[in-house]
Structures are given as C-alpha cells and as structure tokens.
C-alpha cells in the first residue's frame, strides 16, 4: 500500500485501519467485534517516525489510538509551557477530550496547543470523532470503556502535574529515563531537545542534568 510522508515524519496508510488479531492493541481487543469494525471503517493508520512531533491540532476531528511504539503527550499552557506530560505505549487513547465537542464551558479548540512526540517508530490509528460518538450512543459497553479512558487521562494529568511541580530538574529527567527504559526504549536514540520540551526545560539544561543522572546510575 502506498504511503505519503509529510514534513512531520508522519505517513498515512489510505483506507480503513483493519487489524489482524496478532497486531490488535489492548484497547481494540476490549471492544466487541461490531463496535470495533465500525471504528476501523472510520479510521486511518498513521506511521510516525522516531523523533517526529505530533501536533494535536492536526487531528481535531479524530481520536488517536496507539497501535504500537512509545509516544508522549504533553499539555501546554497558552504561553507554550508544559503543564503535564504522559508517556504511553500500545493501547493508549489520546485526544479523547475531543469526543464531547463544544460544551457549556469550552469550545472545540480547547486541546489545540497540545502536542505529542514519538520516542520510537510508532503506528497510530486515527478514528473519526463522529464515528466514536455514534458508537457511544449505540453500545453501552463502549460508552463505559470511554468513561474509563477519560478517567484514566484525568488521573494521568493529575499524577503528571504533581510530579512536574514537586520534582527537581534532575528528578524529572530521571523519571523520563526510567519510564522510557521500562518500555524498552533505547535511550541513546532519545534527543535532549524532546525531553526538554516535555519537561519545560531547555536542551542545555537537560544535557547537563542527564549527564549527572547517568553518572549517578553508573555508580549504583
């Protein structure tokens, strides 16, 4: 199947995102076959190169499911500072905040400043929001699963906010390295600039702190 790459290091596989049982992620495995097929038919597959940035605003009408690889998602303030950061592997559902659309308190552009990045080559499934909403109305089990996913994202944010607020620079970098290493990511492939953007630190500071953290680890 022909794929067209864009400037962000992404490529799109045309057509629906149909998975075999062997390559199905944990989120999709939890759905009944009828709902899963409806979501697949309303989706597209994204191939993200390691190190590429994933601007959430480009997927304003889609929910993102990580099929494989390790990706990060960061919440940004209006002035571009990181407010919270998450590291996730297969089965992680992102952009779920878009599903409700415009509410009494927020419009649909609320999530626009947020971004993601890939720590490894990754495959994402971008599902049309309208298809997700339709399945929510038709399938009570799927509705409950979506509530659980939204609850998990809120908990992720609160945990991340606490970590980033209370930790020193060295502790933040150590946390990222521990998370990535635990997911099997080769740390030599991770750029200091990417870590810095996640943690609201400049690249020079990350380099300095990272050297100290790795030196301490080598002594243990």
Residues 68, 18 within the same domain: yes
**Same domain for 107 and 199:** no
> What is the dihedral sign for C-alpha 180, 160, 56, 64?
positive
Residues 83 and 105 in one domain: yes
Domain region containing 57: 4-166
**Contact in structure between 142 and 136 (CB atoms under 8 Å):** yes
Using CA atoms, how far apart are residues 147 and 159, in angstroms rounded to an integer? 18
117 with 49, same domain?
yes
- As beta bridge partners, residue 66 has 124
In three-state form (DSSP H/G/I as H, E/B as E, the rest C), the secondary structure along the chain is: CCCEECCCCEEEECCCCCCCHHHCCHHHHCCCHHHHHHHHHCEEEEEECCCCEEEHHHHCCEEEEEEECCEEEEEECCCCCEEEEEEECCCCEECHHHCCCCCCCCCCCCCCCCEEEECCCEEEEEEEHHHHHHHHHHCHHHHHHHHHHHHHHHHHHHHHHHHHHHCCHHHHHHHHHHHHHHCCCCHHHCCHHHHHHHHCCCHHHHHHHHHHHHHHHHHC
149 and 220 housed in the same domain: no
Enumerate the β-bridge partners of residue 115. Answer: 55, 74
Residue 138: what pLDDT?
A: 96
pLDDT score, position 132: 96
Quick one: 141 and 174 in the same domain? no
Residue 44: strand pairing partners: 126
Per-residue pLDDT of the chain (220 residues; tens, 9 = 90+): 223 334 346 555 545 556 666 678 889 999 999 999 999 999 998 899 988 888 777 888 899 999 999 998 877 766 666 666 778 888 989 888 888 888 888 777 665 557 788 899 999 999 999 999 999 999 999 999 999 999 988 888 888 778 778 888 888 888 888 889 889 899 888 888 888 878 888 888 888 888 887 777 777 6
pLDDT value of residue 7: 39
68 and 90 Cβ atoms separated by less than 8 Å:
yes
- Residues 12, 51 share a domain: yes
Nearest one of 164, 184, 183 to 173, comparing CA atoms? 164
CATH code for the domain in which residue 29 is found: 2.60.120.10
Is the pTM higher than 0.85? The answer reads no
Q: For the chain, how many structural domains are there in total? A: 2
Residue 145 sits in the same domain as residue 200: no
């Amino acid at each position: 199947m022909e794929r067209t790459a864009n400037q962000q290091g992404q490529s799109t596989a045309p057509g629906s995102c149909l998975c075999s049982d062997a390559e199905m992620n944990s989120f999709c495995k939890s759905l009944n076959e009828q709902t899963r097929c409806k979501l697949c038919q309303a989706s597209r597959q994204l191939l993200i190169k390691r190190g590429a940035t994933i601007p959430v605003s480009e997927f304003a009408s889609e929910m993102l499911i990580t099929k494989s690889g390790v990706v990060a998602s960061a919440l940004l303030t209006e002035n571009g500072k990181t407010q919270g950061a998450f590291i996730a592997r297969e089965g992680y559902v992102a952009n779920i905040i878009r599903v409700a659309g415009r509410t009494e308190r927020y419009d649909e552009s609320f999530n626009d400043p947020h971004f993601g990045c890939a720590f490894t080559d990754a495959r994402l499934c971008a599902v049309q929001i309208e298809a997700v909403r339709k399945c929510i109305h038709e399938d009570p089990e799927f509705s409950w699963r979506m509530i659980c996913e939204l609850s998990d994202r809120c908990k992720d944010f609160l945990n991340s906010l606490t970590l980033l607020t209370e930790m020193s620079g060295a502790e933040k970098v150590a946390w990222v390295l521990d998370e990535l290493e635990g997911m099997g990511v080769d740390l030599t492939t991770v750029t200091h600039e990417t870590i810095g953007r996640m943690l609201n630190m400049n690249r020079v500071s990350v380099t300095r702190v990272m050297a100290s953290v790795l030196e301490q680890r080598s002594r243990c």
